[in-house]
Amino acid sequence: MQRPALRALLLAATTLAMAPLPTEAAAPAAPASEAGAKATSAADAAFEALYTSEWEWRRSLWGPDEDNPQDTPALPDVGPEAQAEKLARWSKVKAKLARIDTAALSRENQINYAVYANQIDALLTEQQYRDYEKPFNADTSFWGNLAARVREPVKDEPGARAMLAMLRDIPRYYDQQIANMRAGIARGFTAPRVTLAGRDEGIAQVIAAGASEENVFFAPFADLPDTIPQATRTQIEADALRVIKADVIPAHGKLLAFLRNEYTPAARTSLGADKLPDGRAYYLSKIREFTTLEKTPEEIHQLGLAEMARIRARMDDVMREVGFTGTLGEFFEHLRTDPQFYPKTPEELLYRAAWIAKSFDGKASQYFGRLPRSRFAIKPVPDDIAPFYTGGRGGPGIYLVNTYDLPSRPFYSQVALTLHESAPGHAFQMPLAAENTALPAFRRDTYLSAYGEGWALYCEALGEDMDMYETPYDLFGMLSYQAWRASRLVVDTGIHAKGWTREEAQDYLRSNTALSNHEIETEVDRYISWPGQALSYYMGELAFLDARAKAKAALGEKFNIRAFHDAVLEIGSVPLPLIDARVDQLIAEGGVGPYPDEE
């Protein structure tokens, strides 16, 4: 389906990225042509030197981020001097980018420039609004990321020593985070209080486990490889228990006391981002960050309402197909409460996810020419975060399935969830980008939510083309998931720009999706505490759907679904307008994808 308003916006935004390359002067003006080539080369060299230097510096800042783990475990410096350095560095980079003659760049670097400039704008804006003073939300926390980081065993003695050094550094890291949060309290820049209940459970579990082998921070040392001599392994294990007792547990105790006694009582009682300091501008910055588009809250809200009406009409059709004679709301309640739709054991849910993933493997070559080398495991979400976690989450090497509260994990959602979180969604797209050595590192190793989540949501809809939805209930589960993401456009803007209450947001999801009540509650708290992120999914999917419709209309019988998918995946995680630009190139090349021998 073509959406003219979005199409116009996308095309306008691609002007810089896909500007025509300078043409050579007509003969006999050879010197002018040579001068033009030298200018292009100089512009490219200046740009490449700028992003290479900044990217190496940026990587040096990374700590135990779950999406960007370093080979050597280390905790980042999040103190005031480091924050000032980030602000200064990215301000200078932005100024230097503005001085580069983009028309003199090669075609490839014009695209790289558009991607890189978007990254720098987002990073700089976060520093300007001091987002680091609110370093966690209802979905993700720095202590939760750290606990996830240490779950994997170390591979050798140097790795074990580096892990021990990181654990000793936790008190410093947590103290810096606490200082940042205190600064946030002082200016009214905190997480909403209503979203904080129970979010410190993982911290309390670390303390309760004590200096024992049951503590999650002992996990890296629980199965040291035999390549380490036995005496050394024994010493490392003893050192780990001592560090957990002397450093890890006291740091968690201090953090827990701060969150319960100081932060939560001082946290704001308002919900919307527009109630934060300079809140309206802040929310607009989050819309830009998470959609890569210039859209107003009202535009997004109205788009969400229109999409919800379209999806509800399809839901009605499926409901009638299965013979349900009540209202759509009654059908939602039937799906939420009938035991036939829910697993009885965690293994039942995990096995179902594995079956769906392998079923896609049998169809993959029909829809994709290039497949990633990386494979993924299917594991349950860890117990300490499961109560507040989404139904599942995927990425390179992993598909986490939430087996907590089984009556909230319906079978009818599993096909859509698995296509989104595993293959061909996150555990497929992200490795493909990382494996594409033709892209510069800053494009291979970073993730834009609008592209990544948009692609994963597109994969849910693609499941219908691939005949993955074997029953009408499976199809309804996909439509419910589509409605869930479309409703986020309404709910996120409702909360952060229109004064919606938590109850209004929950009621909207309850009236328009088949999500369980537990999922509705955790999801709404996530949207409240993470402004704008929820917008990325459906806005991104619309960009992929519109690009596919455009390619089919232009290419006719030459349209090849594998070539289309290969084309939009080879560019990595990019601002949404560049999806459209890549499809323009695909059309200009007669529908031949980037890997013609594999089509």
Task: Give percent of the chain above pLDDT 70.
Answer: 91
| Residue-wise pLDDT tens digits, 533-556 | 999 999 999 999 999 999 999 999
Residues 517 and 479 in one domain: yes
Residues 366 and 513 in one domain: yes
pLDDT at 151: 84
pLDDT at 217: 97
In the sheet that holds 377-380, the strands lie side by side as 377-380, 398-401, 392-395
pLDDT at 139: 86
Instruction: Count Cβ atoms below 10 Å from residue 366 Cβ, excluding itself.
Output: 10
User: Do the domain assignments include residue 289?
Assistant: yes
Long-range contacts of 544-549 (CB under 8 A, 24+ apart): 544/454, 544/455, 544/458, 544/568, 544/579, 545/1, 545/458, 545/461, 546/1, 546/2, 546/3, 546/6, 546/7, 546/10, 546/580, 547/579, 547/580, 547/582, 547/583, 548/583, 549/1, 549/2
Cα torsion through 159, 164, 166, 172, rounded to 10: -170
Of 109, 133, 157, the residue that ends a domain is 133
C-alpha span between 467 and 72 (Å, rounded): 44
| Residue-wise pLDDT tens digits, 218-232 | 999 999 999 999 999
Residues 56 and 149 in one domain: no
pLDDT at 383: 84
Residues 296 and 376 in one domain: yes
User: Do the domain assignments include residue 569?
Assistant: no
Of 239, 269, 299, the residue that ends a domain is 269
Residues 147 and 181 in one domain: yes
Q: Which helix (H) or strand (E) holds 390?
A: none
pLDDT at 14: 33
User: Do the domain assignments include residue 128?
Assistant: yes
User: Do the domain assignments include residue 591?
Assistant: no
Residues 184 and 225 in one domain: yes
Residues 348 and 383 in one domain: yes
User: Do the domain assignments include residue 74?
Assistant: no
Show the domain range for 124. Answer: 4-12+30-61+79-133
pLDDT at 55: 95
C-alpha span between 150 and 368 (Å, rounded): 35
Residues 256 and 311 in one domain: no
Cα torsion through 563, 568, 572, 574, rounded to 10: 170
C-alpha span between 532 and 537 (Å, rounded): 10
Of 212, 240, 269, the residue that ends a domain is 269
User: Do the domain assignments include residue 109?
Assistant: yes
Tokens representing residue 544 in the block = 């992929």
Q: Taking the model in full, what pTM does it have?
A: 0.87
pLDDT at 65: 44
pLDDT at 62: 72
Which residues lie closer than 8 Å to 499 by C-beta, 6 or more apart?
272
Closest CA to 385 of 136, 199, 582, 548: 199
Residues 326 and 186 in one domain: no
Residues 127 and 203 in one domain: no
User: Do the domain assignments include residue 590?
Assistant: no
Total domain count for the chain?
A: 3
| Residue-wise pLDDT tens digits, 126-159 | 999 999 999 999 989 999 999 988 988 898 999 9
Terminal-to-terminal C-alpha distance of the chain: 25
Residues 316 and 463 in one domain: yes
User: Do the domain assignments include residue 207?
Assistant: yes
Residue 71 pLDDT grade (very low, low, confident, very high; cuts 50, 70, 90): low
Which residues lie closer than 8 Å to 423 by C-beta, 6 or more apart?
357, 360, 361, 364, 376
| Residue-wise pLDDT tens digits, 5-56 | 333 322 333 333 333 323 323 333 334 444 445 556 899 999 999 999 999 9
